[in-house]
A and B are shown apart, each in its own frame.
Chain A
Amino acid sequence: MIHLFRVSKIYAPNYPALVDIHLEIEKGEFVFLSGPSGAGKTTLLKLLFRGEEATEGQIIVNGRNVTRLNGRGVARLRQEIGLVFQEFRLLPTMTVLDNVALAAEVVGTPVRESRKKAFNLLRELGLKDRHDAKPPALSGGEQQRVAIARALVNDPILVLADEPTGNLDAEMADETMRLFARIHDRGTTIVIATHDAGLLKRFSYRAVFLQRGRLLGDSKFAGEAAT
């Protein structure tokens, strides 16, 4: 599903955000990108949906060479990916339903079908009664669930989440993680960037460790080495 080969990202000379990253993530995997602030987790996620361009190396996502995509190709890639951010990034002037339906409409889903899909997702995520509210009227946990609904509305094969529990209390964070686990159970590949070590303990999925832009370890291979 995801292949990174000798990937580097340098924003400014002598300030590499990522250095020589090799990483493979299989279809249907659930992976944490972990590490302290400034480790390069967010940059790595951005490279996967072409929010940033790699300085060096090759990135393949779902068979597409991300480093060589033109504008149209980037749009197509993003239609296959669901994105979730720490700060939710919902439009405050639109209703919850419209926020979710917008993502379906822009990829060509008819308006009625978009709203139906959005409504069903909101119901599934326990937000049926909040569909007409504006995001500022929602709690942090509710806003993050709306953002997840938006990420799921186009049935993505891959969900990328950047610190999705960063603005939530522990209880909400666990609830959000259980939601990601449910999505993963349907076969969707999930990659979550987090600096919260507690999450990694409570949810035992593969974890890739980054520090100062370098890949320090991968629990998948650490396990194999131990055995």
Chain B
Amino acid sequence: MRLSRISFVFRRVLKSFRELLWTHILTSGTMAMTLFIFGGFLLIQQNLHGLLKGWGSQIQIFAYLENRLTAAEVEPLVNRLRGYPEVESVRFVSQGEAWENFKKSLGSQSGVLEGLSADILPASLEIALKAAYRNHDSLAGVAQRLRTEKDISEVEYPEEWMARFSLLVLGIQWAKWILGGFLFMATLLIVGNTVKLAILARREEIEIMQLVGAPAGLIKTPFVIEGMIQGLLGASLSLLFLWLLFLFLSSQLPFTLGVLTDRAQLRFLEPESLALLLFLGWAMGAVGSLLSLRRFLQRW
């Protein structure tokens, strides 16, 4: 496009923002609300993922060994388990250590153990997984393989808790797309109607431009750019509100709910999510404008 045409397009965009300022503000506000809700889901999902990762370092699989096993027989088993691709570390806990730990955990009530033999607790292996495998499916997979080992009598891990938490994350992920999808459709209609209003307000001007030979692109481009600007403004506004909400929550939530021990665990959106929200705003504006232009400009 030649410089004179680019200048013409931008002067028309400026003119439109001057003449239909409140219409543009309302549309940007509506887009901001949609993106705020979508971004809110992103934020929750991202922080739950972070939480899961943080807690994941404390999640271990406990493999209880057969009583008949000697120390010499444990060694090759430990080495074999360290060879699992998912396994980060394997620590052997002898019967004696298990007994001591149990006594310690009972504290002042450890007297109830008097008279019991130290070998009532089995020796075990504490298996930690690599960060990439600290999820429900990997834990279940490794546990399943451990159960097939003939020297292991029982395997335990926080199965139910992990399953519920993973389901929650999955639910939020789906809710984000389903609810987001409905909101996007509604927003597209609103953007389309704004463009329709802008087209109707300038109908006479557009007709004259068509009559004097203005190329279709020159007539349409300002409307599409207006849509994109509205979308980017809406997305920026939604990010600002999300940031304010995040500041409020990160100062309140950990203490109110007692869920998190470290406030630093709450994190704002990753750069990719910020870019996604800005892109969605931009795309909603552009698509809404193009759809409206297709519907209304062809009629003339």
Contact = CB atoms under 8 A, between A and B. Distances in A.
Contacts of A198: none
B216 A107 contact: no
Given A105-B8, A108-B2, A111-B8, A76 B208 contact: no
A105 B216 contact: no
A72 B215 contact: yes
B212 A103 contact: yes
Given A105-B4, A106-B8, A109-B4, A91 B211 contact: no
Interface residues of B, number: 20
Nearest to A82: B212
Contact of B209 (A49, A51, A83, A102): A102
Contact of B213 (A51, A89, A107, A110): A107
Interface in A9-62: 49, 51
A81 B211 CA distance: 9
A76 B205 CA distance: 19
Contacts, number: 59
B211 A83 contact: yes
A83 B7 contact: no
A76 B209 contact: no
Given A91-B205, A91-B208, A106-B218, A79 B213 contact: yes
Interface in A146-195: 150, 154
B8 A154 contact: no
* Nearest 7 CB-CB pairings of A with B: A78-B213, A79-B213, A106-B214, A103-B212, A110-B4, A75-B215, A75-B213
6 contacts: A89-B204, A89-B208, A103-B212, A106-B8, A106-B212, A150-B212
Interface of B: 2-5, 7-8, 11, 204-205, 207-216, 218
